[in-house]
Amino acid sequence: MPEKILSPQSDEDRQLKEELESLVLGLHSQPYHAANNKAALQQIASLIKSATTSMTSVPKPLKFMIPHYKEMKEVHEKLESPELQKFCSDILSVLSMTVSEERECLKYRLTGLREDVGAWGHEYVRHLAGEIAAEWETLMEEDVAKKNELIAEAKLIVPYHMQHNAEAEACDLLMEMEQLQMLTEGDVVDKEAYERVCLYLTSCVPYVPEPENSELLRTALALYRKFSQYPQAMRLALQLHDMALISELFQECPDRLVRMQLAFMLGRQQVFLELPDTMEDCEDLNEILSNANLSNHFVALAREVLIRCMMSATASLGLILLWDVDGGLTKIDKYFYASEDFIKAGALLACGIVSSGVRNECDPALALLTEFCSHKVQVSPWLPDVTRFCSHKVQVSPWLPDVTRFCSHKVQVSPWLPDVTRFCSHKVQ
């Protein structure tokens, strides 16, 4: 609806204001035990609810009810029906959100019907949660009854926040009330929200002192454990240095592959567990936990990294000597005679990069590459894939589809490009 229609001078606003004023006046003009009071209160509540479902500013019904706040409090005190008093308390609780600064929103909420807290809108729930947290700080240990009332309200607010993607606000409220265990009870946190809840809890750990930080970790761990996320739970157990909990998680994990992953995590942190002989894959798990094969794994990784480094380091010469066909190919030529095939593969790449976009009558790139077209050793395993990538429907890289066009172009952009297809499809690579 256009903003000009919602302006204070609009007919709709005047009609709404007059309707609310007549309803409040009707509550005063008739006996406080009259049945008509219930209809008037229901009408006022309906008008407020229709405007508070989503709030970016103070809704018009609340704005028009602000001058009548004291009158509504008088009506609340004089109503003779307990049910109507509770219903009026709910309305006053919402009005207090914009008028009072003395936590009257919470006061009237606790004396009201205490039904669906989300019926009054998300902003009301947020305001009420803030007043609950502030009230909790003022309570002493002996105020058990008052604390139980606030906990009961929190049990209504937290599920509402979880259902409306406000996990951080729910966690903040429970942290203020020291009631984080509520997150692990029942279905408060479902499988759709637990990751966001755990991420928020663990991100708050560096900002709270002991023992609150340990409580945050244990709550997140309990949620991960509840949803069978054992690696994440083990990571938190290691942060807590709780050996009993670490052993429980390890033995509780039902998946043998995940258990091996946990063993690698424990081995990396030099945490060794005494495993029963009856456990599945006990011997393999003990080897992992004791880091017996750590050296072999390290050597295998180093070998893989070295192989990639040899090819990429040699190929990078092509970028350093880019377009310097005369001098660059001379410097690259010595790598064609290396004993490592991956260095030769890098030299082939460097040769192509140096000659890219440069036309030379002597065609030195072709002369160097021809020798390897019939090479018995597979110099590079990826070369046969060039043609397939060039014709692939999914464009892997924006420049790859141009290779075929350049190879068949009448103007030869680079003398070695037409030989790539022949080289890639050669029977003996």
Tens of pLDDT, residue by residue over 31-54, are 666 667 888 888 888 888 887 655
Q: CB–CB of 70/63 below 8 Å?
A: no
Going by pLDDT thresholds of 50, 70 and 90, the confidence category of residue 57 is low
Domain presence at residue 352: yes
**In the predicted structure, residue 167 carries a pLDDT above the cut 80:** yes
Domain presence at residue 329: yes
CB count within 10 Å of CB 165 equals: 11
Domain presence at residue 356: yes
pTM metric for this prediction: 0.67
The whole-number average pLDDT for the span 240-255 is: 93
Cα-trace Rg, the chain: 37
Domain presence at residue 146: no
pLDDT more than 70, % of the chain: 80
Domain presence at residue 323: yes
Query: What gap in Å lies between CA 266 and CA 233, rounded to an integer?
Result: 12
Domain presence at residue 380: no
Q: Which domain holds residue 363?
A: 310-373
Domain presence at residue 369: yes
Q: CB–CB of 310/346 below 8 Å?
A: yes
Closest CA to 130 of 162, 153, 111: 153
Q: What pLDDT score does 6 carry?
A: 42
What is the pLDDT of the chain when averaged over all its residues? 79
Q: Domain tally for the chain?
A: 1
Top mean-pLDDT range of 76-90, 109-123, 194-208, 361-375:
194-208
Question: From the centroid of its chain, how far is CA 114?
Answer: 33
